[in-house]
């Protein structure tokens, strides 16, 4: 069996789909659009695991809730983890909410394989996290 995905694998996916790998300023703008209080980032594993989104001031949403992912089905992870939910197509087949696409950027939606990588990485995250 291949090694499980690492945070670096997930970070590369997030950089790629947001077209922000080489541009720290672009990432800072993305992070700020998701949370004006600076609690949203994927610069490190801990930052991603503790990220809070509040893009419209409508209430805090934990991007990666502290759940027992190792025992959860793909469907349950997709439904209960905001990160995976926002990057996944809706049940009715409509496009993912994130990242927003624009002809002016190289952003794209995550592939099924990339979503599987994120879910498989989540299954390696200790539960409870302890932070």
Q: pLDDT (tens digit, 9 = 90+) per residue, 2-58?
A: 799 999 999 999 999 999 999 899 999 999 999 999 999 999 999 999 999 998 888
Residue 104 within any structural domain of the chain: yes
Q: What is the pTM of this model?
A: 0.95
Q: How far apart are CA 58 and CA 123, in angstroms?
A: 29
Q: How far apart are CA 35 and CA 41, in angstroms?
A: 9
Residue 47 within any structural domain of the chain: yes
Whole-number Cα distances in Å, 91 to 33, 49, 86, 94, 110: 26, 25, 12, 7, 16
What's the number of domains the chain is made of?
Answer: 1
Range of the domain at 49: 7-122
Residue 130 within any structural domain of the chain: no
**What integer pLDDT is reported at residue 56 of this predicted model?**
82
Residue 128 within any structural domain of the chain: no
State pLDDT tens for residues 58-78. Answer: 899 999 999 999 999 999 999
Residue 2 within any structural domain of the chain: no
Among 77, 87, 80, 90, CA closest to 110: 87
């Amino acid at each position: 069996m291949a090694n499980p995905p690492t945070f670096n694998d997930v970070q590369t996916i997030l950089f790629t789909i947001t077209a922000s790998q080489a541009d720290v300023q672009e990432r800072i703008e993305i992070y700020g659009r998701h949370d004006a209080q600076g609690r949203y980032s994927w610069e490190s594993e801990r930052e991603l695991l503790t990220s809070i989104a509040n893009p419209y001031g409508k209430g805090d949403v934990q991007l990666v809730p502290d759940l027992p992912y190792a025992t959860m089905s793909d469907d349950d992870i997709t439904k209960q983890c905001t990160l995976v939910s926002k990057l996944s197509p809706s049940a009715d087949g409509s496009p993912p909410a994130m990242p927003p696409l624009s002809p002016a950027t190289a952003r794209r939606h995550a592939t099924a394989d990339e979503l599987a990588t994120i879910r498989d990485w989540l299954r390696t995250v200790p539960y409870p996290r302890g932070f």
